[in-house]
């Protein structure tokens, strides 16, 4: 096997373990979520989490338990996708999701208000959400970097997420024109590093191939370290990526 092929295979195997296998579609049903979990080929490794809408959290938990995959976390989203739900409703969404068994909450920052200059409101959403998460429930904050557009705003959103207690900063919802980019990821990672806090990073939206994943793995390793590339501090939010990973691994 060539050096390039070996690197690709290693990246594919690592990417499985770092993945939040995601289904956030308007047409999702219990059947589609169960099928998603059935698609996991445990011989190639397990994803870090399954990310679904809140009303499918219990279904995901059950499907994972039936496959004896309880170690796979279940994540859900709040204030999704536009980031403009009233805060009291977001907190209610969060509490219900936790009651259903969610291990991780992916909160959309009110990015439109941040663009308009309301940093205090953005911070309030993060802080209030973190406050209602028990210690075992991780909070990922989606800053929607593609809509923020400028490095300055991406940096500011990341700083707000960190200040509010985020366990992870996540690039995107996957529901806008521009989602994860290497350029935005560079800004987010440098901001996390400068904070000197143990905060993770999640890339979401547009990561569809092992080659895409490899680019992000290299960026993270260069900026943060190889040790950062664990599910505790780095994730891919993806759906179609898994199929390409399996295809790559099965060719080895």
106 noted as active-site residue: yes
Distance CA 163, CA 158 (A): 9
Which phi-psi region, left, alpha or beta, contains residue 106 (left: φ > 0; alpha: ψ -120 to 50)? beta
- Residues 106, 167, 212, 244: which is the catalytic one? 106
170 noted as active-site residue: yes
Q: What is the DSSP letter of 85?
A: S
**Biggest CA-to-CA distance, the chain:** 56
- Residues 138, 170, 212, 244: which is the catalytic one? 170
- Residues 61, 130, 138, 202: which is the catalytic one? 202
Which phi-psi region, left, alpha or beta, contains residue 184 (left: φ > 0; alpha: ψ -120 to 50)? alpha
Cβ atoms of residues 17 and 236 within 8 Å = no
Contacts with 85 (C-beta within 8 Å, 6 or more apart), sequence order: 78, 79, 93
The encoded tokens of residue 211 equal 């080659």
Locus of tokens 């959290």? 57
140 noted as active-site residue: no
Helix axes of 210-223 and 3-17: crossing angle, nearest 10 degrees: 80
Count helices and strands in the chain by DSSP H and E runs: 11, 8
- CB-based burial of residue 96 (10 Å sphere; 0-12 exposed, 13-18 middle, 19+ buried)? middle
Catalytic residue IDs: 106, 170, 202
């Amino acid at each position: 096997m060539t050096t390039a092929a070996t690197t690709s295979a290693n990246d594919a195997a690592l990417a499985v373990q770092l993945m939040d296998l995601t289904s956030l579609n308007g047409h999702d049903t219990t059947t589609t979520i169960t099928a998603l979990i059935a698609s996991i080929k445990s011989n190639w490794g397990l994803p870090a989490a399954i990310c679904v809408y809140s009303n499918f959290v219990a279904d995901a938990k059950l499907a994972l338990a039936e496959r004896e995959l309880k170690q796979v976390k279940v994540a859900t989203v709040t204030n999704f996708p536009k980031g403009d739900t009233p805060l009291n409703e977001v907190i209610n969404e969060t509490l219900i999701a936790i009651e259903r068994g969610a291990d991780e909450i992916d909160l959309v920052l009110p990015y439109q208000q941040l663009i308009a200059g309301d940093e205090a409101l953005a911070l309030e959403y993060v802080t209030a959400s973190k406050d209602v998460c028990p210690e075992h429930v991780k909070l990922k904050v989606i800053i929607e970097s593609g809509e923020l557009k400028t490095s300055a705003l991406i940096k500011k959103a990341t700083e707000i997420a960190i200040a509010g207690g985020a366990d992870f900063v996540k690039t995107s919802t996957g529901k806008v024109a521009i989602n994860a980019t290497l350029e935005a990821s560079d800004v987010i990672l440098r901001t996390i590093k400068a904070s000197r806090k143990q905060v993770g990073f999640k890339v979401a939206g547009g990561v569809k191939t092992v080659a895409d994943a490899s680019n992000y793995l290299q960026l993270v390793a260069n900026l943060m370290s190889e040790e950062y590339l664990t599910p505790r501090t780095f994730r891919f939010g993806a759906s179609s990526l898994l199929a390409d990973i399996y295809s790559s691994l099965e060719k080895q």
